[in-house]
Structure formats: structure tokens, C-alpha cells
Amino acid sequence: MKKYVVSIIPLGLLALLLFFILPSCSTTNQGQSWEKAMGQIPTSPLDPRRAHQDLNIQIDLIPEGRFGRRLFRPMKPQFITIHSTQNYTGDAFAHAKALKKGALRGGVCGYLCWHFTVQGDAVIQHVPTSERGEHADFDGPGNRFSIGIEMCEHKGNDMLATMDRTAKLAASLMYHHDIPITNVVAHYHWPRAGYNPANKNCPHFLMEDGQPREAWQWFKSRVERHHSRLALFHQQNQQKIEEQRQREKINKLVRWFEKLGSWLGLS
């Protein structure tokens, strides 16, 4: 009997441990397995202009003064908001078409709109980054101050390529608009007044139990690592400019001394 009790206690403890540890292991593994499948990001510097070109952004704006751009509402972007479409039939081109004909109703101005839609092999821009969108929280700061990016989920779309292209786009936008990584947020971040729950489970495949946890942190680390390459290029470029400036200063001094020498008849 004593022997039986002794063996039951460790088993119970083991079961308890597994109950608490396994969910967090599986969520961490999700990010880890995506990371493995995508491959590591190089640490070498990358020219931000090249990175921008590589994104191959197709500009297909909603007509000025119509639908989601019915009202001209300038914006200085301070955040980047990541969404996913939860539309399993429409690709980025279909979303561009829908936005251009005002097919998606909602928001404060009566039409939904956001800045970029990303799929595995393409990025389409719908709204200039200097104008606000209607994608996050009605008249809240998510819409008033953030660039909205939608990730496609249509059948056949390469989701890994979509996530990485989105991470690269976010990194490029961070660089060009001087936005810190802390301001790269999930749609979840912006509560929607009058909704229950107020915080949307979006982008849902990066949320765990409807909230940003390990998988979201992994995605953000991917954005940050892409951004580091651009920042490193910028830093090295600044160093080169400074070195060039110093060289020119010295050359100027040398020329001045040569002139002085010839004036004094020393050469």
C-alpha cells in the first residue's frame, strides 16, 4: 500500500507539470518551426533602397476622394498594425479590387481601407502612408496613427512567405518612418469601443488563446532582425560620410599650407 502511494505522488506531479508546461511548449514550437522553415535572417547590412525594391510593392491606390479615401485625412504614422484577412478565397489583387470599388463597408467614413495587402509573392499598396485608414478601432489611435497591413490567407497562398514578406515590409516602414519596434502591434492591441471582446483576435494565426504571446513575439523578433540589417547599413553609411568629411577637411588644410608655403617662397 505504502509503495503504491509513493508511486502515485510522482505520477500526479508529472501529470500536473505536463498540464502546465505542454501548452507553452507547443506555442513556442510554432514560432520555432516557422523560423526553421523560413531560414535564418542574415546579419549583414542591407541597403534600405534595395530592401524596398525587393518587396516589389505594386501601387494600386483607391481613387483620391472616393470610398476609403472619401475624406482627406492626413496622418503622420507612429505605429504599424498587423492584421490577417480571414478571407480564404480572396488574394491581394481581389482585395485591391474590392477596396477600389468601395465594396467593403464599415469604419468611421463608411468604407474600410488599409495601406498594404501582402501575399506570398506580392505587396499591394491601397492608401498612401501619409493618410489614415479604417482597419483597426474606428476613431481610435490605431486608425489615426497607424499603417495597416493585411496578410492574405487564401487557399494556395504560401503563408510562410507571406509572414516573412510582411515582416520585411514592416521593417522597411519602421526604417523610413522612424517607428520603433515597440510600436509594431497586432490588431489585438487596439480595443474597439462597443465590442465584446474589445480586442480582436487578429492576426489570428499569430495569437494564442486570442492574445499575442510567443508566436507574436517570434514574428516581432523577425521584424526586428530584418530592421537591424537596414539600421546597420545606415550606420555604416553615416560612418563613411563622416570619414569622407574628415578627409576633405585635412585635404583643405594641406592645400592651404601649400599655398602659404608658395606665398612665403618656401617651395
Query: Grid coordinates 471582446 are at which residue?
Result: 197
Q: Is 189 in the site for Zn ion (CB under 5 A)?
A: no
| Nearest alpha carbon to residue 24 among 235, 215, 258 | 215
Question: Which window, 45-53, 64-72, 83-91, 163-171, contacts Zn ion (CB under 5 A)?
Answer: 83-91
Nearer to Zn ion, 70 or 204 (CB): 204
Under 8 Å between Cβ of 25 and 17: no
Nearer to Zn ion, 132 or 229 (CB): 132
Q: Is 187 in the site for Zn ion (CB under 5 A)?
A: yes
- The two most distant CA atoms of the chain are separated, in Å, by 113
Q: Is 202 in the site for Zn ion (CB under 5 A)?
A: yes
Instruction: Report in angstroms how near the CB of residue 148 gets to Zn ion at its nearest.
Output: 8
Under 8 Å between Cβ of 193 and 138: yes
Among 83, 126, 132, 168, binds Zn ion (CB under 5 A): 83
Question: Which window, 16-24, 76-84, 140-148, 251-259, contacts Zn ion (CB under 5 A)?
Answer: 76-84
Instruction: Report in angstroms how near the CB of residue 122 gets to Zn ion at its nearest.
Output: 20
Q: What kind and span of H or E run contains 147?
A: strand 146-151
Residue 249, C-alpha cell as written in the block: 577637411
The size of the interface with Zn ion (CB under 5 A), counted in residues, is 3
Question: Which window, 49-57, 61-69, 186-194, 231-239, contacts Zn ion (CB under 5 A)?
Answer: 186-194
Euclidean distance between CA atoms 30 and 163, whole angstroms:
13
In this structure, the chain runs to a length of 267
Under 8 Å between Cβ of 150 and 163: no
Nearer to Zn ion, 169 or 202 (CB): 202
Question: Which window, 6-14, 66-74, 77-85, 224-232, contacts Zn ion (CB under 5 A)?
Answer: 77-85
Under 8 Å between Cβ of 191 and 140: yes
Amino acid at 106: G
Instruction: Report in angstroms how near the CB of residue 55 gets to Zn ion at its nearest.
Output: 21
Which phi and psi angles does 87 have, rounded to 5°? Answer: -115, 115
CA dist 134 → 73, 119, 191 (Å): 11, 20, 14
Q: Is 227 in the site for Zn ion (CB under 5 A)?
A: no
Beta strands per DSSP E along 161-208: 184-186, 207-208
Nearer to Zn ion, 83 or 168 (CB): 83
- Contact code string over 89-118 relative to Zn ion, x by CB under 5 A: ------------------------------
Under 8 Å between Cβ of 60 and 122: no
| DSSP β-bridge partners for residue 74 | 131
Nearer to Zn ion, 83 or 132 (CB): 83
Nearer to Zn ion, 67 or 190 (CB): 190
Question: Which window, 3-11, 26-34, 114-122, 197-205, contacts Zn ion (CB under 5 A)?
Answer: 197-205
Nearer to Zn ion, 132 or 187 (CB): 187
Q: List interacting residues with Zn ion (CB under 5 A).
A: 83, 187, 202
